[in-house]
Structure formats: C-alpha cells, structure tokens
Structure 1
Amino acid sequence: MARRSNPRVEPLTGPRGGRRRDRRGRGFRGPVAVPGPLSPRGVPGGWDHGSQFDTAVLGALARLRPSHAAALAELDVAVEDVPVLPRRWRDDVPLGTVVPDHERARVVLFRHPIQHRAETRADLDDLVLSVLVDQLATLWRCEPEDIDPRA
C-alpha cells in the first residue's frame, strides 16, 4: 500500500501568514517596535510627554522673545507636574500660576493639566502659549493681546 502525503500540510519554510507578534492585542515586540541597541539604524527614539511639553514651552518662549526679550530676561519660567491644591478644592485645576518674588518673578506651568486638555501636538503648543501669555499678562498687569496679538 502506497503512503499518501497529506495535501494540507505546508512546508515550514518562508514567512508565516496572519497576525504575527500581535497575539492577545499587545502590539509588536522587539527591536522593530522599541529603539534600542538591537534596533536598525533610522528608528527614531520616542519622545516622552515631558520632553514634548518642555519643547512646547521653549517654543512659546521663543515666539515671545523678539518683542519682550528684556522683560522675559527678568523672570523664570518653571514647569511642575501638578499643582498642590487643598483637599477641599472645588474649582477647576489651574493650568499655571505666577509667583511674584522680590528678586525674580516666576511663572509656573502645570504639565499634567495642560497635557490633559490638549488632544494633538499642535493643541499642546497652542495651549502652552495661551497659558504662558495669560500668566505673563497677570504678572505684568496688562491685556494678553498686548503681549501676543496672535494668542
């Protein structure tokens, strides 16, 4: 009796079809997904949210610096993750605050509340600029349009 091969069995050579490496919905794994020492060259490193926010703050300051360089040189701009609020706080979470000081005033932007309200990177840039202009207007006692008419 002749032995017949099973026509459904395929050789194990070549790429497998179907959803590879996305079992259980966890996404791709390994050097293709995460930059590292085993990654091919040209795979960009991911930016964390802190770096994106810091870049947005620096961009907003660069946009305001040509017209307000002397005034901006007299203050500090700081970034905090979240504001410290009393337990029974009922108002909206502040996006920034001004800390007037005798030597140097400080404008503080709160990263998490601002990032929570921004959906895209462009929204983040616009919101950071808007909050910064509002805080500077409070500090300098002027209208936000006087600082940046585009804001």
Structure 2
Amino acid sequence: MAEHSGNSTPDIERQSAATKPASTTTVGRRRRRRVLRDRRGRGLRTPLLPAELPAARTRAQQFDHAVLEAVADLEERWPTELASIEFAVDEVPSLPTGDVVASSDVVLDGGVPLTRFSPPGVDARGRATKARVVVYRRPLEVRAADSGDLGDLVAEVLGEQLTAVLGEPDIEPPTGS
C-alpha cells in the first residue's frame, strides 16, 4: 500500500487534469482519450436556447409572424376580397418632403404612416403588379408596449387599412384568441 504524506488521498488519485492524456489515438494497443472541455470555465458548453424556440427569433421575425397571423385571420374571414392583395413588411416609411396627407391609402398616427396601400398597376419592367398593403415595422414597434400588444396593434392597423381600401365597414380586427 502506498504511504500517505499527511493527506487522506493517495498520490495516485490526486492526479490533475493537466496530466491526463490529451487525445484519442491508438499507439500500439494503448488508447488515449481526448478531454474536450473548457479548462478555464469561460466558454459556453451548449447553446443557451435551441434555434427552434420563439425566444431565439429576432424582433423582425417576431413582427413578421404577427403580420402573418393577422393576415391569416383576415383571409379566413374574407378570402375573395383579399385574394388580389399582397401584404408586405418594410422597416420604416419613406416620408415625402412635405406633410403626409391623410387618405384611404395610408393609416397615419401623428403624421407617421403605419401602413400604406398601393393600387394594382405596372412596374418599371412593364409587368402587372397586384394591389399591396405595406406594414411598417418600426413605427408599430415603437407604439406597442409588448409583443402581445404588438400583435393586437398590427391586427387593428391592418383592419383599418382594409376597411378604407375595400370600403367594408364591418372589417374589425381579430379578437385575442
């Protein structure tokens, strides 16, 4: 038996991590095991959240999801009216040099457009374009208190825009489900 020098643990068991084998190779019949770890404890061992979780989505992705949910609900209720309308998301509206005039094409809040309707037409290449409703992300995010409020606000603004464009007074934003 090995003699102890005041410690209760034999010298063989007090082997540090630095003296352990560093790789998994086969030399003759001996095998060495590679130690994969963060020796100083400064790095991440695993990702904090899997990419599939909603908390890993960016604000732009969360906003796109809120718009898709609102549009899906509206298309469920009015499939024929909304079949010819595209929906798009843009970061911020491009403001003209003068004041923005309130019309049925724009939903305003304090002079800032929240959505804009573009009628069908022809693009620069001569191709026909569908009618389009553009929802502006940043103005709506600034006005929302939290992500739940953002979804309600997006649905309300889209409902207002479609009421003005389609002339349907019975379009109401979807209620929270």
Query: TM-score scaled by structure 1?
Result: 0.66
Task: Provide the aligned C-alpha RMSD in A.
Answer: 2.3
The answer for the alignment partner of 1:105 in structure 2 is 131
Go from structure 1 to structure 2 and tell me whether the alpha carbon gap of 1:104 and 1:123 turns closer, same or farther (over 3 Å shift). Answer: same
Q: Secondary structure of 1:95's partner?
A: strand
Higher strand share: 2
Higher helix share: 1
The answer for the alignment partner of 2:79 in structure 1 is 69
- The gaps in structure 2 that reach 5 residues or longer are 1-41, 101-109, 122-128
| In structure 2, distance between residues paired with 1:56 and 1:122 | 9
Out of 101, 107, 120, the residue aligned to residue 146 of structure 2 is: 120
| In structure 2, distance between residues paired with 1:149 and 1:62 | 12
Query: TM-score scaled by structure 2?
Result: 0.57
The answer for the alignment partner of 1:59 in structure 2 is 69
| In structure 2, distance between residues paired with 1:88 and 1:30 | 53
The 5-angstrom pairing of residues 2-151 of structure 1 reads 31=44, 38-40=45-47, 43-45=49-51, 46-89=56-99, 92-102=111-121, 104-143=130-169, 146-148=170-172, 150=174
Q: Deviations over 1:100-136 (max 9, x none)?
A: 1245211110010001111111100000001111111
- The gaps in structure 1 that reach 5 residues or longer are 1-28, 32-37
For the pair shown, the structure with the greater C-alpha radius of gyration is: 2
| In structure 2, distance between residues paired with 1:86 and 1:107 | 18
Number of paired residues?
114
- Asked if structure 2 preserves the Cα contact closer than 8 Å seen for 1:100 and 1:139, the reply is no
